[in-house]
Structure 1
Amino acid sequence: MESLVARGDHPALEAAAEADPLVLRRIQRLLYSPDPERRWGAVIALGRAAAAAARRHPSAVGDLLRQLIYAAADSAAAGWGTLEAAGEIIRHAPDPYGSFVRNLLAFLRDPPARAAVLWAVGRIGEVHPDIVKRHPYFPILDLLADPAPEIRGHAAWALGRLRAREAGGPLGRLAGDEAAFSLFDGHRLRRVSVGEVARAALRRIQHPAKTAEAHMKPEETAPLSPEDEAALAEALRLYREADIERNQGGSLDAMEKYRQALEVFERLGRAAEAANACEKLGDLHIQRGDFNGALPLYQRALAVCEKKGDPLSFYLLAEKIVDVYRHRQQMEKALPYLFRMLEIAESAGDAGRAGLCLTGIGDVYQRQDEPEKALEAYRLASRIYREMGSKKQAAILDEGIVRLERLCSGAADPGSQP
């Protein structure tokens, strides 16, 4: 078995595993080889062989996945390769085992496991982005600012594999980061710089044609007529040119090209590209001070994210909509968005964003002269910040809570809201 893994003879391994799932245990033992190349070879082989075994022995593969995840969670166990191997199994057998992505993402709270999780998520997201995007993955964006090159580099790589358009800005800020780390790209282990990986991720994200070809859902892959194919190619060209002109400060030219591309995307039912164009048009309206023009564009993009089950993109777009309502002094209209954002943050285990949402909800209730509801939201936010160790933020909220409590009890206090 070791020689088959060393040679990369995956067809032979797949046939053996389908006939006898105990083969998977023999491959698993190779994860603990002292040779990094052999370990990575075992990770790739285990994913391929497990997917083959799952055709006849799905419960055995499910048990293996659980064992890998339990081993990673056990600090007394040698966990090298367990999360990476779990990711490879999900990559090759997404239908029965895609739900395990949530278990993988939970390990992002464990600093020693982060690089392994990011690699696994990137491998899954490269071929099945929708499976990853069903789960809020905020922490990956936050890890782009991690002090360790290995972590921020793997985060950049994972987001590039996912083609996570919301990561464009932070990735751009890493483009000049020359700190080096080791990355296994699925074929070989090599030393790369964080900036090199970030630039490659940006190129991958900024080519929607490739995104559409690789990841479009079945209802969007209906054959196009030659005329529609030509129209789509032209729309994608305009979209890329608009990206360049926007980055160079040519907002009016970029807006016109985004509009032309958007018309074609919507006519051809290209929902993902239409949502991207709507959001970028909205951003340009904001840059020009046209908040009223931005709002319907953001809402159109938001509807696509909701339909596709993409909670992270939904959160980021809802955040922009809330900012528009804040500028228009119509925060009561922002309340449903804030509650939905709170649900997403809580599902992701992102305490910081949950605290921000609760503070915003408290602000809305206070403006609506509902102080008891405002106090409830502010108190929850304060408790979250305290548990996070954000004592300064909690103290600011606590001062406002005291003032609001005095107002509720009838004591005169000219203080402002928390």
Structure 2
Amino acid sequence: MAERSPWLTIVGIGEDGPAGLCAASRAALETATYVTGAPRQLALLPELTATREAWPVPFVDGIERLLARRGRPTVMLASGDPFWFGAGGTVTALLARDEWVAHPARSTFALAAARLGWRLEETACLGLHAAPLGRLRPLLAPGERAIVLVRDGDAAVEVARYLVAQGFGASAVTVLEALGGARERVRTTSAAAGDLDDVAHPVALAIAVAGDGRVMPRASGLADDWFAHDGQLTKRPQRALALSALAPRAGKLLWDIGAGSGSIAIEWLLAHPRTAAVAIERDPVRAARARVNADSLGVDRLRLVEGAAPGVLAELPLPDAVFVGGGLCDALLDWLFDSLPTGTRLVAHAVTLESEALLAARHAQHGGALLRVELAEAAALGTRRGWRASFPIVQWSVTL
């Protein structure tokens, strides 16, 4: 069977317009019957026989319109490299491989690095057009560098204010406008200067982080005060042990049952940008607090489900790992063993004598590893010091 000819050509276009296009991109534009893209991109094109239509806002509204063109020569314009924080991956995920072809242009990241002399492999690259600024938080450490795509001039101001609020107002911020085009402008200021009042779209920010703000460690077991909580928190040492047993891996999904402040799920997400997590919490106040913690620590991708387990679990995508930090009971464990696939990793913590006995019985039945952890911290005892013990934690970890 002969392969179909691609009906969709995704053309990366820069601020230099047609001058920066490859021969294949120009040929696709000349033979297309329909061209869509941002108004700014369409304005860069020469006269064409194709019908031009601006891509709508929000972006998702244009997808159905594009797919309705299936089978007819169509060009979709995208900024720079369509597959680096661009629309290419979103659209091609809906198409067969022989339906499309793409011709990328120079990415904004490549152009920004070329202007500044930065090594891209040593620079964090983020697209924050429609994402919260909290995604910057794990990156903020003196000496780190990031190139960030932002929505517009107002967003550039918001980034500067965010850096100041986090204690990194001394960071050098290079504003890169309309890179590669006639309107290109590059200037450097500090986040604290507050002079970003005339920034034109499209814009990227190159941030050289500096300041005395708090740096987020990269190891499991963040200090407890990184999380807002009401005492319902898996403390740092036990959290580090839990994360070690859960073993976060790229592309894997965690259920955090009885999530409380969300600390386990949040640290799972911090372990790798392609992890996923669902936090299940029946208390709406605690669920809202977990949402705030996730957003402030840069993992807004955390999914929160309000309700009690196992009742709310059946509709969720199957996990690769499960942590039970609250609501531990026989009914929940029975449901997990009956419903989850072989190979799922389960880690449960117990504090009370009753839940400890439950885990001991399950360990005898199913095996795995049973660990009892007792911690004590030095504290004032009159004019001297003594050990202040916390409740021991029993951890059961098993692979179903």
TM-score (norm 2): 0.30
Computing the radius of gyration from Cα coordinates, the structure with the larger value is 2
Q: Which has the higher strand share?
A: 2
